[in-house]
Amino acid sequence: MVFDSILMLVSFILLWTLRPATENWEWLSCHEIAGGGSSCFGISAVFRASFTLFIFHSILLIFLCPRAQCSSAIHDGFWLFKIIVVLLLFVGSFWIPHPFFVFWGYVCRIGSVLFLFVQAYFLLNLSYTLNDSLIEKTQDSNASKYAQFLLLSYSIVSLVICSVWIGFQFHWFAKPGCGLGWFTLILLCVFLVFFYVVALLKLCDVNVFRENATIFTVSIIAPYLTYLSWTSLASQPSEECNPFMLSVGNTIAQVLVGVLFTVITVTSIATAS
């Protein structure tokens, strides 16, 4: 996970540093096969890093499939060799024709949709696990107040943050003539209100979902749904409905928050029973 993140960080550095530098340094340009000019340093660099990691992990999977003793050694060791292999694959990707990465971009889009389903499932699984753990601690006289404080304080803080975040999104994206912004945000609000109401109905012994679908679990998922609406609306190719279309700062913020959710997801996958 850390290894992959470092390579993706390098690709983003290439995106925001070397691409503008090609305009000032005549000697710095991509190979003609890779598109020439600054083509390989743009978003193409991110796709090249993604493709490199795909090839690297595919090779690892082949070695791990036999599930032999050497498979464990390959998985847990040889890090210097792995780093060299990844670097060679990444550098070599700059001699792959640019049209291939246009195609790879569409493959990544399809894969990202599948990942969103996996991410949502494991975030929900983590929320139930944390909820059950804290509820169990409320039965312990020594940790009862501590657990109750965490349940209550996090739920309140999450609700406040999401409300403010959604308010800003209405200000940014829900302008006259921006139907997609209005539709997305209204739909988000409807679902969040529904989830919170369902969680509160448990106080009246009405269980619409599973028993541990509490306010706390909703408060863990709500920021993720709010994040998804923000990233989707900030990707609109319209300057009128998307003030962040050319904003580097907004892109960096999306990447950082996305990395946070990804780390949480991987942690949930690693600890899920």
- Measure the CA–CA gap between 260 and 163, rounded to whole angstroms: 20
pLDDT tens readout for residues 3-52: 666 666 666 666 666 666 556 666 556 666 655 666 666 677 777 888 88
Task: Give the predicted TM-score (pTM) of the model.
Answer: 0.76
Task: Judge whether 69 lies within some domain.
Answer: yes
Residue 211: domain span: 112-273
Examine the domain organization and report whether 49 and 131 are in the same domain.
Answer: no
Least reliable range by pLDDT among 26-35, 211-220, 247-256: 26-35
Task: Judge whether 101 lies within some domain.
Answer: no
Examine the domain organization and report whether 142 and 270 are in the same domain.
Answer: yes
Examine the domain organization and report whether 141 and 78 are in the same domain.
Answer: no
Task: Judge whether 7 lies within some domain.
Answer: yes
How high is the pLDDT of residue 194?
Answer: 92
Counted domains in the chain: 2
Examine the domain organization and report whether 163 and 258 are in the same domain.
Answer: yes
Examine the domain organization and report whether 63 and 172 are in the same domain.
Answer: no
| H-helix segments, the chain | 2-13, 19-21, 43-64, 69-76, 79-92, 98-138, 144-173, 179-201, 215-233, 248-271
Given 63, 96, 129, the domain boundary residue is 96
Examine the domain organization and report whether 125 and 64 are in the same domain.
Answer: no
78: left (phi over 0), alpha (psi -120 to 50) or beta: left
Examine the domain organization and report whether 80 and 117 are in the same domain.
Answer: no
pLDDT tens readout for residues 91-123: 888 788 878 888 888 888 888 888 888 888 888
Yes or no: say if 74 and 20 are a contact pair by the CB < 8 Å rule: no
Examine the domain organization and report whether 146 and 189 are in the same domain.
Answer: yes
pLDDT (mean) for 193-213? 80
Examine the domain organization and report whether 33 and 134 are in the same domain.
Answer: no
- Measure the CA–CA gap between 117 and 156, rounded to whole angstroms: 27
Examine the domain organization and report whether 134 and 244 are in the same domain.
Answer: yes
The answer on pLDDT for 172 being more than 80 is yes
How high is the pLDDT of residue 4?
Answer: 61
- Pick from 229, 167, 183: which is nearest to 221 by CA? 229
Q: How confident is the model at residue 169 (pLDDT cuts 50, 70, 90)?
A: very high
